[in-house]
Amino acid sequence: MTRKILIRRGTLVLPDKKTLMDGDILIEGGVITRIEKGILDPQACVIDASGFLVGPGFVNLHVHFREPGGEAKETLETGAKAAARGGFTAVLAMPNTSPPLDNPIIVQALVLKAQRLPFTRILFAGAISRGCQGGEMAEYGLLKEAGVVALSDDGTSVESSRLLYLAFQYAQYFGLPFILHEEDEELSRDGHMHEGTTSFLLGYKGIPRVAEDSRIARDILLALGTGARVHFTHLSTEMSVTLLRLFKGKALLSADVTPHHLLLTAEDVPRLGNLAKVKPPLRERRDIEALKAGIAEGIIDILASDHAPHTLEDKEGSFTDAAFGISNLEVTVPLYVKALVEEGVIDWIELWRKLSYNPAQFLGFEDKGVLAEGKTADITILDPQTEWEVDVAQFESKGKNCPFQGWSLRGWPVYTIVGGRVVMAERRIVDGEFC
Ligand code: DOR
Ligand code: ZN
Residue/partner pairs of 244-253 with CB below 8 Å, 24 or more apart: 244/216, 244/220, 244/294, 244/299, 244/300, 245/294, 245/297, 245/299, 247/220, 248/299, 250/224, 251/220, 251/223, 251/224, 251/227, 252/177, 252/223, 252/227, 252/228, 253/220, 253/223
Query: What whole-number distance in Å separates Cα of residue 324 and Cα of residue 54?
Result: 35
Task: Return the bridge partners of 195, or none.
Answer: none
pLDDT digits (tens, 9 = 90+) for 286-330: 999 999 999 999 999 999 999 999 999 999 999 999 999 999 999
**Residue 1's pLDDT band (boundaries 50, 70, 90)?**
low
Helices (H), 303-427: 312-315, 332-336, 348-352, 358-363
Query: What whole-number distance in Å separates Cα of residue 101 and Cα of residue 64?
Result: 12
> What is the per-residue pLDDT for 75?
98
Say which ligand is closest to the CA of 261: 1
Looking at CATH, the fold of the domain delimited by 57-363 is given as: TIM Barrel (3.20.20)
> What is the per-residue pLDDT for 3?
84
Phi, psi torsion values for 128, nearest 5 degrees: -75, -45
- Ligand 1, atom 3: closest residue by C-alpha: 325
Output the pTM of the full model. 0.98
> What is the per-residue pLDDT for 431?
81
Say which ligand is closest to the CA of 399: 1
Within the chain, all domains assigned CATH 3.20.20.140 are found at 57-363
Please say whether the beta carbons of 54 and 379 come within 8 A: yes
Q: At residue 87, does pLDDT exceed 60?
A: yes
Stretch 178-200: mean pLDDT, rounded?
98
The percentage of the chain sitting over the pLDDT mark of 90, rounded to a whole number, equals: 98
Q: Which residue out of 193, 278, 314 has the highest number of ligand 1 atoms within 8 Å of its CB and is therefore the one to mutate?
A: 278
181 lines ligand 1 (CB under 6 A): yes
Residue 324 CA: nearest ligand 1 atom is 1
**Residue 33's pLDDT band (boundaries 50, 70, 90)?**
very high
Within the chain, all domains assigned CATH 2.30.40.10 are found at 5-54+374-429
Q: At what angle are helices 104-115 and 76-85 packed, to 10 degrees?
A: 50
Query: Ligand 1 centre and the CA of 32: distance in Å?
Result: 37
279 lines ligand 1 (CB under 6 A): yes
pLDDT digits (tens, 9 = 90+) for 102-119: 999 999 999 999 999 999
pLDDT digits (tens, 9 = 90+) for 5-20: 999 999 999 999 999 9
> What is the per-residue pLDDT for 248?
86
Q: At residue 414, does pLDDT exceed 90?
A: yes
Tell which residue, 224, 355, 222, has the closest CA to residue 295.
Answer: 355
278 lines ligand 1 (CB under 6 A): yes
Q: What single-letter amino acid sits at 249?
A: G
What architecture (CATH level 2) is domain 5-54+374-429?
Answer: Roll (2.30)
Please say whether the beta carbons of 94 and 154 come within 8 A: yes
Task: Return the bridge partners of 428, or none.
Answer: 425
